[in-house]
Amino acid sequence: MRLGTDDLPRIVDTDYPHGTIKRYFGHECTTIDLSRTDGQVRLFDSILENPQFDYVIDLEAHHLERFFSIFDDIGYEKAAAAAGMGVAVFFFLDRTLASIQAAVALRRQLGSSQFVLVRNDAIGAFRAPVYGEHDLMKIGMDRQIRLPALSADALDFVEDPSFNFTDFIMQRRQGLPDWLSDELWRFLETIYQQQPTGTAESLFTA
Amino acid sequence: MKPTVIMVGADKGGVGKTTTSRALLDHLARKNMPARAFDTENPRGTLKRFYPDITEIIDLNSVADQMKILDTLDSAAVKVTIVDLKAGNLSSSLDTFDRIGVLEAARHGQFDLGLIHVVGPSVASLDEINEISEYIKGINYVIARNFINETNFFEWDEKTFKKYFADLPDAQEIDIPKLNEMAYEQVDLAGVTFSDFVDNKDARGADATFSFVLRGYVRKWVSDLDAEFNHLSLLQNLGRAGSETAAKPKAEPQRAAKK
C-alpha cells in the first residue's frame, strides 16, 4: 500500500498498550484500546470522518469476535460503503479446526466485504484432511494468499523495527548479504505473484 | 379506537422505569401511534425532559390532575396515554386508581389498561408483585426485567419465579436489553429521544454530530427492544386498532409469559 499510493495508509494497532505494529510504523500508527467504548468510537468514527485515506487495522486475536460483533451491530459495512469505502478482511488461518470454523463464521457474518484467507507456511499446513478441507471450502473466500516461510535468520532481520519492506523494495537498504536479499525477494515475489492485476484498486475501492 | 392507558411503575427507585417509559414512547412513535404522557415525578419530571411536547407533569394525589388523565381519555386527540408513575408509588397509585373506580372501568372494557412493572433483580422486587396482585387482575400486566445496566438477575431462580407468577397466568414478561453505558450517557446528555439520537438529530430537530458507533449501539438496542415490545398483546391490540381503517389484519398469536 505504501508503494502504490502517495497518501500513506493510516495504521491502527489494537495491541493496547504495547503496540506491536506501532514499533514499525511509529508515525502512521495509532494504538487503540478496543475493549473500551471510547476506543471503538476513536477507531470507527475517525475512519468514517476521513474516508479519503486507506486504513489498515491490525486486529489482535482476542478482539476478533468483539470487533466483528460491534462491526455488525453498528452497521459499519453499510456506512463504509455509503462513504465510498471498501472493506477487506485478511483472515490468518492457523493449524486448528477452530480457526477454520472461526473463518466460516466470520465470512457468514460479513456482507459486501472482501474476505481474503491468508495461510502462513511458517506455522504449517492445516492437518485435518477429512473434514478440514471441506470446511475450508465452506468459507467462501474471495481470495487466498500463501505466505512462504522465511528462515529464522531472515525472520529475525525483518522483525527488527528498523526494517520495512518499502525501503527494501525501493533499494534504500544497502549492504544486505546476498543470501538475505535473495530470500526476501523470493518471499515478496511469491506473495505478489498471487495478487490479481489491479489488486489494490479492487480491494480498497467500494 | 378504544382509549388505552399504560402505566409504567416500580416500587423501587433506580430500576430503569423512566428509561422504559422513554423506550415505549419511542416504540409507539416508530409505529406511528401518537401518544401522550403524564410524568408523576412531580415537580421535576425526568420524562418531560425528553418528550417536552407530549408530556405533562402531574401530581397523582391531586384530584385535578387525576381528572387530567382520566376525564380526557375519550376526548383527547391521541388515544394512547402513558403514565410514568413516581418511583416507590406503584402500590399507592394502584390503590388510588382502584378507589376512584379506574381499575373497575377498565375491567368492564371502557378502555384498555396496562401496567408495565419494571423490576430489579432482588426478591424484594418479586415481593412487589405479591403486593399489587389484587389490583392487577383483569388488566394487562407486564413484568419488565431491566438489563439496561447489565443487571444480573441471579436471585431469580425458576422455582421462586414460578411461585410468584402462580396467581398471574396472564402476565407477560419482557427484557429491557443492556445498552452500552457511553451510548446511554450520550443520549441522556443530549436530552433527545433514542430515535432522534439514532437519526443524528438534536433536541431541536437539527443535524447533530453524535458518534456513529454510539448511534449504532442505540440502533441495535432499539431494534432488540422493538422485538420485545412486539410480543406484548397490549401493544399488538394498539397496532390492530390503528390499522383497522385500512384493512383487517389477521390476529397474531400472543406469546405467553416466558417462564
At residue A140, φ and ψ (nearest 5 deg) are 70, 45
Helix/strand/coil for B234: helix
Q: From CA A138, how far away is CA A128, in angstroms rounded?
A: 15
Look at the block and give the residue holding cell 450517557: B185
pLDDT in tens, A159-183: 998 888 888 888 777 778 999 999 9
pLDDT in tens, B105-147: 999 999 999 999 988 766 667 777 878 888 988 899 998 988 7
Give me the residue from B182, B213, B219 closest to A44, CB to CB. B213
Are the Cβ atoms of B213 and A45 closer than 8 angstroms? yes
**Could you give the maximum distance between any two Cα atoms of chain B, in Å?**
51
pLDDT in tens, A85-121: 999 999 998 877 788 888 888 998 898 899 998 988 8
Q: From CA A107, how far away is CA A64, in angstroms rounded?
A: 13
Are the Cβ atoms of A37 and B216 closer than 8 angstroms? no
pLDDT the model gives residue A170: 82
Let me know if residue B215 belongs to a domain. no
The domain that holds B47 is classified in CATH as: 3.40.50.300
Are the Cβ atoms of B182 and A79 closer than 8 angstroms? no
Size of interface A-B (CB pairs under 8 A): 37
The letter for the amino acid at B91 is: S
Shortest distance between the Cα of A128 and any Cα of chain B, in A, equals: 38
CB proximity A34 to B under 8 Å: no
Q: From CA B241, how far away is CA B237, in angstroms rounded?
A: 6
Are the Cβ atoms of A75 and B180 closer than 8 angstroms? no
| Domain around B157 | 4-179+225-243
Q: From CA B112, how far away is CA B128, in angstroms rounded?
A: 23
Let me know if residue B65 belongs to a domain. yes
Domain coordinates of chain A in residue numbers? 10-150+197-204, 151-196
Q: Choosing among A45, A66, A69, A85, which should be mutated to test the B contact, i.e. which has the most B CBs within 10 A?
A: A45
Is residue B8 pLDDT above 90, yes or no?
yes
- Percent pLDDT > 70 in chain A is 84
How deeply is A49 buried, as exposed, middle or buried, from its count of CB atoms within 10 A (0-12, 13-18, 19+)?
exposed
Q: Of A144-153, B168-177, B216-225, which range is least confident?
A: B168-177
Q: What grid cell was written down for A206? A: 467500494
Q: Indicate the pLDDT class of residue A204, thresholds 50, 70 and 90.
A: very low
Structural fold of domain A10-150+197-204: Rossmann fold (3.40.50)
Mean pLDDT across chain A = 84
Is residue A197 pLDDT above 70, yes or no?
no
Shortest distance between the Cα of A73 and any Cα of chain B, in A, equals: 6
Indicate the DSSP class of residue B202: -
User: Between residues 194 and 223 of chain B, which touch chain A (CB distance below 8 Å)?
Assistant: 211-217, 219-220
- Percent pLDDT > 70 in chain B is 82
Q: Indicate the pLDDT class of residue B245, thresholds 50, 70 and 90.
A: very low
Query: How many distinct structural domains can be found in chain B?
Result: 1
